Amino acid sequence: MEIKPETGLTGLLEAFDSSHWPLVREAVEQTGGVLRQVELDAATHARIGSGLIRLVEHPKWEVRKALAHAALYLRHETFDRMLAVLGQDNHDLVRNAARRTLSRRSELSRTDLLKEQHGDLMLKWLQDLEERHGMQARNAVRKVAEKLQAQFIKELHHEMIKVISPLDASLEHIDAAIQGHRINRETLGRHARRAKERVKFLVAVLDSLYALTRERDLEFQTESLLSLMEEAVHLVRDRKPENAGLYAEFRIDPEITVEVNRHLLLQALTNIIQNSMEAYAGTQRAAEIAVAAIACNGARIQMTITDYGCGMSEEAVGDAFQLFATSKPHGTGFGLTMAKKIIESDHGGSVLLESAKGRGTKVIITLPREQEEREW
């Protein structure tokens, strides 16, 4: 017996009483999908919770394991009672599933709290703007924020589809191979590896997105700029075996210091240097960069990182710092975007690109010698 896709919630709950345990498990899994995908009122959550909790002592561990997963999005008092029982289950897989659900539930709770906090913070910002500059300024800023949000979602959707489509194709190939009369292990393995690669890429994109948008309290300390640049080059050399041959020429006065967050600025510099390293791919030249720094005035320093690789077109230069912009087959398009955020937003500096196709690229970075108090 199979549960039809058009089966409603009532049909799913009735299937919990079936004597055919695979049908019960499928009903539980589909109910979990309903909880995950549909906005439900409190009464419906209570109804589902009352149905699910009857299965905590089901004789089949497969049903109890499905129950532990399905309960994740249940907003009802029965959640805690269910997980308390399943957490003491006599089957390892059920206990592990219960532990994972409790861990993920904690993450969801923190996410919900952050959404509320961010909403309150946005309201405060808008109120401050209204008090300082009037209702017209508040409304103008709100409209700009809405447009930026819409544009970001559009771009994110486009990039996610680019990742998910080949992943879906690989899974379709795997499914077709399993359904076939003869299983070719080599073909299955190839498609499984491709699927895993796409999942890893998707996780990398989401991790980078989180890092890019995360709010953080920064601590700054005075550092030698030459020491920072030497460490960044060493980090890039150690990142990949093919980077080991990178040669760097430094023209930086050892006395030049900057007040920075060391960890973040190193992240920005290694992203930039990695891009310089990759500019030599497909060329016959050995990878080398020239790093120089001068004092612009008493308050700021200017640093250049120059490579002699393939260079970039005028259009590519214009897009280089855009989110998701990348010319690399497996690039996420976050490296230079993150570097720009760290240098400009976090450190009050600036970063520019000068490049010509076939002639290399120069990255020009300015940084304040000392950090000032910033309101935002």
Tens-digit pLDDT profile for residues 106-147: 766 655 545 555 555 566 677 777 778 888 887 777 777 776
DSSP 375: -
What's the pLDDT score for residue 28? 92
355 three-class SS:
strand
* Per-residue pLDDT, 297: 73
For range 61-86, the mean pLDDT: 90
pLDDT band at 190 (very low <50, low <70, confident <90, very high): confident
pLDDT tens by residue, 214-252: 656 678 889 999 999 998 888 888 877 777 888 889 999
Exposed, middle or buried by CB within 10 Å (0-12, 13-18, 19+), for 32? Answer: buried
Give the pLDDT score at 6: 45
Domains of the chain: 9-103 (1.25.10.10), 134-213 (no CATH), 221-368 (3.30.565.10)
Neighbour-count burial for 339-350, b at 16+ CB within 10 Å, e otherwise: bbbbbbebbebe
The C-alpha atoms of residue 137 and residue 376 are separated, in whole angstroms, by: 17
Place of tokens 């002699």: 308
CA distances in angstroms from 157 to 111, 151, 154, 163, 191, listed in the order given: 21, 10, 5, 10, 24
CB-CB contact of 357 with 349 (8 Å):
no
- Stated as kind and residue range, the H or E segment containing 290 is strand 288-295
For the question of whether the overall pTM of this predicted structure is more than 0.75, the answer is no
Give the residue with greater pLDDT, 272 vs 159.
272
Three-state DSSP at 125 gives helix
Three state DSSP letters for 92-116: HHHHHHHHHHHHHHHHHHHHHHHHH
Query: Is the model more confident about 213 or about 258?
Result: 258
Q: Please state the rounded mean pLDDT for residues 283-301.
A: 85
**Contact present, 261 and 347 (Cβ < 8 Å):** yes
Q: Binning pLDDT at 50, 70 and 90, where does residue 65 land?
A: very high
261 vs 120, higher pLDDT? 261
CB distance 304 to 323 below 8 Å: no
For 165, the token pair is 């489509």
Averaged pLDDT for residues 202-225: 70
| Residue 327 reports pLDDT greater than 60 | no
Cα separation, 201 vs 195, whole angstroms: 10
Residue predicted with more confidence, 362 or 125: 362
- Residues 6+ away with beta carbon under 8 Å from 221: 259, 260, 261, 262
pLDDT-wise least confident of 114-128, 158-172, 357-371: 114-128
Q: What is the pLDDT of residue 324?
A: 45
